[in-house]
Amino acid sequence: MSLQTESADTQLEGRICQIDGARRHLPKRKYGQPFDKQSIGLSLASLIEVHDEQLASYLGINS
């Protein structure tokens, strides 16, 4: 994994963490491991969908 990819994943996690209550539902990820969109649980997906429609669309979790 490149530094650029790690930076993008860190920014994605940061955007998710800006949503109230989302941080505790964020899947664990070790440095250098890609963000796994499939590991987003129902609670986190619901929070993202309600509070950030663009992010939900990017992650493929919008209804």
Q: What is the pLDDT of residues 11-62, one digit of tens each?
A: 999 999 999 999 999 999 888 888 888 999 999 999 999 999 999 999 999 7
CA-based max dimension of the chain: 32
Tokens standing for residue 17: 């963490």
Q: Tokens 């990819």 map to which residue? A: 5
Confidence grade of residue 1 (pLDDT, cut at 50, 70, 90): low
Q: What is the pLDDT of residue 22?
A: 96
Q: What is the pLDDT of residue 32?
A: 83
Round to whole Å and give the CA distance between 49 and 55.
Answer: 8
Listed in sequence order, the residues at least 6 apart from 47 whose beta carbon sits closer than 8 Å to its beta carbon are 19, 20, 21, 22, 25
Task: Determine the residue type at 63.
Answer: S
